[in-house]
Amino acid sequence: MRRASLRQRLALLLLPSLLLVTCIELWMTRHDALEAANAAYDRSVLGALKSIDANISTASGGLSVELPYTMFEFFELTASGQVYFRVATSDGLVELGSADLPEPRAALKPGVPVFYDATYFGEPVRLAAYRRELDRAPAGSSGRSVLIQVGESTRSRQEFSTRFVRRAALRDGVVLALLLLSTALALAAALRPLTRLAREVQARKPDDLTRIEEADLPADIRPLVGAVNQQMARTQDLVAQQRQFLDDASHQLRTHLTTLQMQVDYARREQDPALVSQALEALGVEIGRVTRSTQQLLALGRSDTVSLAFEPVDLAALLRDVAVDLLPLARSKQIDLGIHPPAANLRAVADAGLLREALSNLVVNAIAYTPARGTITLLAVAEQRGWRLTVEDNGPGLSDEECAALGRRFVRGTRASQGGSGLGLAIARSIAQRHQGDLELKAREGTRGLHASLWWPAASP
């Protein structure tokens, strides 16, 4: 059932329903046919009973009945079987006809005919019974009422019902076949948009990620197509990020590799050992730069595409670990690198690895631009809407225009060092945006320096 097509599923659901409805309709038809047959034949039985009742007389002193034989012959023809009658006084001393006809189970009310089914000589019969008062008791009897019974075989009723139900079954079978055919045609017409959509998607080129048009599709299919369009938009973004990463990486590495090749060629041409030593020293510096750029490019690519693993993060421990890792770099410039201890047990929900990468890039950037004997402070606070990690320095700071521009890839400030690549802040911003937050850069109030903050909301997972 799970692997069946939509047409097969609808057929498996509709066919039993149609069969059940047909069976119920046949049962109701049979019930109605029996009721109609009983009503028609009972009127004939009641007519015979009333004819007998009209011909009962006690004028001669006894009980006499003049049977209408013509009516009985016609009655037998319509009944297609044996016809029985009985006339008996209430005390049973005077009887005419079939004396052993089954009597009704309940007592009869005078003047009210009753119909009931019974078995007579092993054959099912339909009987009508009627009791009325006599003008006087007949001779040889003390009964003042007479019981009249007329019965017939139910064979003709059953044959009539069988023929009626057979014709109804044939009719319903034709109707069921027409319903199945019309349902199949309706399903084919209803599912035609899906078939057309499947052909259009199959005909697309592998790199075609444009939206699927929803205007001509049924309303039931539009949510599915909308979800597919959203997924294709995400895929487009991912492909664009990968293409941007490749472009950035090729541009950055090509520049460094060209510089390295020039320095190697220069060292080969030089004969002076001192100049060769200087070339090798410059070569080492450039190798350090390319290593740093490669690491940043990999970090940027990872921050753009890696799946986030949200977990509780101790922000105080994060500040302490980053400060300890970068303390030697800060001491090499005689920079006072410290932390402002946050409140106890300050825990945020984030990807711990990426968050550490972003904070480290902010601290490294601050160390690069803070002059010797400067101060850098790391802070962490919990706000009403989320969390914030801040790196404050007393360096030269940035203008408002630079604060707005920095954070994009390969965009560098006016005071950027020669070896920078402009990726540190871009990595931090990418990680913040992956957490549904952002990177905020602004000048410190009342003093020189920069205030760089990573903010992300509490509901980022």
Q: Which two tokens stand for residue 332?
A: 């090499």
Q: Is 439 helix (H, G, I), strand (E, B) or coil?
A: strand
Question: Can you spell out the DSSP letters for 348-381?
Answer: EEE-HHHHHHHHHHHHHHHHHHSPTT-EEEEEEE
DSSP states along 25-43: HHHHHHHHHHHHHHHHHHH
SS3 134: coil
Q: Side chain identity at 341, as an amino acid letter?
A: P
Burial class (CB in 10 A: 0-12, 13-18, 19+), 411: middle
d(CA 66, CA 54): 9
Please list, in sequence order, all residues whose beta carbon lies within 8 angstroms of the beta carbon of residue 382, skipping any fewer than 6 positions away: 342, 343, 346, 348, 388
Closest CA to 456 of 382, 345, 398, 371: 382
End-to-end CA distance of the chain: 36
Whole-number Cα distances in Å, 324 to 35, 389, 437: 98, 16, 26
- DSSP character string of 135-185: SSPPTT----EEEEEEEEESHHHHHHHHHHHHHHHHHHHHHHHHHHHHHHH
pLDDT at residue 284 in the model: 79
Residue 390 has a pLDDT of 92
Given a contact cutoff of 8 angstroms between Cβ atoms, the answer to whether 180 and 18 are in contact is: yes
178: Cβ contacts below 8 Å, ≥ 6 apart: none
Q: Mean pLDDT over all residues of the chain? A: 78
**Strand, coil or helix: what is 278?**
helix
CB 359 within 8 A of CB 427: no
What are the pLDDT digits (tens) for 276-311?
Answer: 787 788 777 777 767 766 766 666 666 666 667 888
Q: In this structure, what are the phi and psi dihedrals at residue 338, rounded to the nearest 5 degrees?
A: -145, 175
Q: At residue 275, what are phi and psi to the nearest 5 degrees?
A: -70, -35
Give the span between the Cα atoms of 150 and 159, in whole angstroms. 21
Cα separation values, 336 from 185, 317, 325, 332, 369, Å: 81, 19, 14, 10, 13
pLDDT tens, N- to C-terminus, the chain (461 residues): 455 566 677 777 777 888 888 888 888 887 887 777 778 778 878 887 888 887 777 767 677 677 665 555 555 555 556 778 888 887 777 777 788 888 888 888 888 899 998 988 888 888 899 888 887 777 767 777 888 888 888 887 777 778 878 888 888 888 888 888 888 888 777 777 777 777 877 887 877 777 777 777 777 777 877 888 888 888 787 777 677 766 666 655 666 677 677 778 777 877 788 877 877 887 777 777 677 667 666 666 666 666 678 889 999 899 998 898 888 888 988 999 999 888 767 888 888 888 888 888 888 888 888 889 899 999 999 888 889 999 999 888 776 666 555 545 544 544 545 444 556 777 788 888 888 888 888 887 777 888 888 889 986 55
